[in-house]
């Protein structure tokens, strides 16, 4: 498994995002696989669209939600791997 913390990534282009209040659904239009997002997940996905890297996301999340970098890094790594497993995340070399 590739370490997502050392690369850049974004949400795949063939993915639909449907927002409702502070939640959303990401849908892979090719496979039909979807992923439900809470407020934090939606914040992360919105910032993934800027072709950002792992550590920039950690800083953004920690500043907005006032959590520790260590806890944030672990949770973000898990979240990004879930998106990748559902073919919703594009890795940019």
Residue 9 — pLDDT band, cuts 50, 70, 90?
confident
Q: What is the pLDDT of residues 48-87, one digit of tens each?
A: 877 678 888 999 999 999 999 999 999 999 999 999 999 9
Q: Which domain holds residue 84?
A: 4-92
Q: What is the pTM of this model?
A: 0.86
Q: How many domains does the chain divide into?
A: 1
CATH of the domain at 41: 3.90.930.60
- Residue 93 pLDDT exceeds 80: no
Q: Which residues are CB-contacts of 17 (< 8 A; sequence separation ≥ 6)?
A: 11, 24, 25, 26, 27, 45
Whether residue 14 contacts residue 28, with contact meaning beta carbons closer than 8 Å, is answered with yes
């Amino acid at each position: 498994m590739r370490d997502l913390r050392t690369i850049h990534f974004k949400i795949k282009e063939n993915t639909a995002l449907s927002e409702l209040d502070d939640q959303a659904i990401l849908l892979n239009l090719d496979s039909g696989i979807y992923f439900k997002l809470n407020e934090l997940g939606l914040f992360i996905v919105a910032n993934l669209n800027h072709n950002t890297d792992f550590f920039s996301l950690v800083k953004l999340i920690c500043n907005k939600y006032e959590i520790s970098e260590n806890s944030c890094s672990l949770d973000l790594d898990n979240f990004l791997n879930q998106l990748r497993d559902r073919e919703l995340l594009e890795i940019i070399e």
